[in-house]
Amino acid sequence: MRKYKIASIIMIIHGGIMELGGCLALVPILAFKDSTVDISAYFSFIVPYLQENLPLMIIIGGIYGIVRVIGAVGLWKNRMWGLALSTVNCIITMALMVFMLPAGIIDGILASSALILIFMQYFGNRRIVE
């Protein structure tokens, strides 16, 4: 149970600070859209399409953050849906992190460490073949 708690803390930090914090930090920039602020100076994505649609990427990041925090809370409360949602979220993050460099490196580290802890707790010391 302890590893689930640590994984949920990692996911709350990941979802709350990185995803939602980044989304909320750019709200004033988007609200006061003028020629003096260039959003692309703060974010860079390896895929040009993502770079060209930064406001939409910010919204998607906020959605990821909310879903990640919800899964982490479910995991913290020892709910099976929290385990499933957290596992799916970590796997999707690991698959998409390569497209969001350089921030994807931190995404990968946090999501991978949370997923490893989840699997270690769930599977424990069970062997593949007894």
Q: Identify whether 106 is part of a domain.
A: yes
Mean pLDDT over 96-114 rounds to 86
Q: What is the end-to-end Cα distance of the chain in Å, rounded?
A: 24
Q: Identify whether 34 is part of a domain.
A: no
- Which range is most confident: 5-19, 58-72, 76-90, 95-109? 76-90
Q: Which domain holds residue 103?
A: 2-24+48-123
Q: Identify whether 103 is part of a domain.
A: yes
pTM (2 d.p.): 0.81
pLDDT at 115 over 90: yes
Q: Identify whether 17 is part of a domain.
A: yes
HSE-up of residue 112 (Cα within 13 Å, Cβ side)? 10
Q: Identify whether 40 is part of a domain.
A: no
pLDDT-based confidence at 88, cuts 50/70/90? very high
pLDDT at residue 68 in the model: 92
pLDDT averaged over the chain? 84
**Higher model confidence: residue 19 or residue 36?**
19
Q: How many domains does the chain have?
A: 1
pLDDT at residue 37 in the model: 59
CB 115 within 8 A of CB 90: yes
pLDDT at 21 over 60: yes
pLDDT, one tens digit per residue, over 43-84 is 667 777 777 777 787 788 888 888 999 999 999 999 999 999
